[in-house]
Structure 1
Amino acid sequence: MKKLILILLVVMSSNYCANAQQKNQKEVLRHVVLFGWKEGTDPAVIDKIVTAFGELKNKIKVIKEYEYGINSSPENLNNGLSHCFTITFKNEADRDAYLIHPDHKAFVALLNPAPAKITVVDYWAFR
């Protein structure tokens, strides 16, 4: 009986530590932006936009991380969206400050009229 109680205590302690560790892991807010281009869009225009988006990390201090990539999925489910940009924020206040930041607004003005499609999704990433 003592062995069974000891085993149960060890298992319960292990589960408690695992749950506590998960709760201590920080969440981050991801801001995902997807672009699809009008047919015939000059590649130089796309490169200019990609470069300008990447430069925001150095201009807007609330951006924790930035990355981008071009669709390479073989599933053909991208619905015309080809470029994916992900910005990471610590919290919603930082994201909101980014959205109204003058450098972000200048970037958005640069987009007109290049992308045919734009999709934005924000989500909390649990680590």
Structure 2
Amino acid sequence: MAGSGVVKHILLARFKDEVTPERLDQLIRGYAGLVAVVPSMKAFHWGTDVSIENMHQGFTHVFESTFESTEGVKEYIEHPNHVDFATEFLALAEKVIIIDYKPTAAT
């Protein structure tokens, strides 16, 4: 099946300067909470840029979600809780990049 197999959903973000650390913490807790309400969302991790290469192009935060399939990502995108969350998230973001990929082991 073309859509089967684990899919990683990577979101890179830079938030607007006016977003307070408290508001950002609240937003990240909301993102993490989607795991409990979206059945196809299996895991969530996040972090901030710590690279010494300075190639982040202004992106400061990385969010990684794991899904069971591409169909699972579609379910997540259409889920009402995600739709509400994404509206809130995007209102606070200055710029965002999203990439979905299927992990492949090195050969």
Q: State the TM bucket, normalised to the shorter chain.
A: 0.7 to 0.9
1:36–1:116 Cα contact (<8 Å) kept: yes
Q: 2:82 aligns with which of 72, 97, 104?
A: 104
**1:113 is matched with which residue?**
91
- 1:62 lines up with 2:40 in the alignment: yes
Q: Deviations over 1:82-111 (max 9, x none)?
A: 111111111111110000000100101212
Deviation beyond 4 Å, 4+ runs, structure 1: none
Q: CA RMSD in A?
A: 1.5
SS at the partner of 2:100?
A: strand
Q: Is the 8 A contact 1:52 1:107 kept in 2?
A: yes
Which structure: greater helix fraction?
1
TM-score (norm 2): 0.87
Distance apart, 1:43 and its partner CA: 1.1
Higher strand proportion, which one?
A: 2
Equivalent residue for 1:93? 71
- CA distance in 2: counterparts of 1:86 and 1:46, whole angstroms: 16
Structure 2: 5+ residue stretches without partners: none
> Any idea what SS the aligned residue of 2:95 has?
strand
Structure 2 counterpart of 1:80: 58
Gaps of 5+ in 1: 1-25
The TM-score with structure 1 as length reference comes to 0.74
Residue among 21, 27, 31 paired with 1:43: 21
Aligned length: 102
Q: Which has the higher contact order (CA 8 A, sep 6+)?
A: 2
1:54 is paired with a residue whose SS is helix
SS in 2 for 1:126: coil
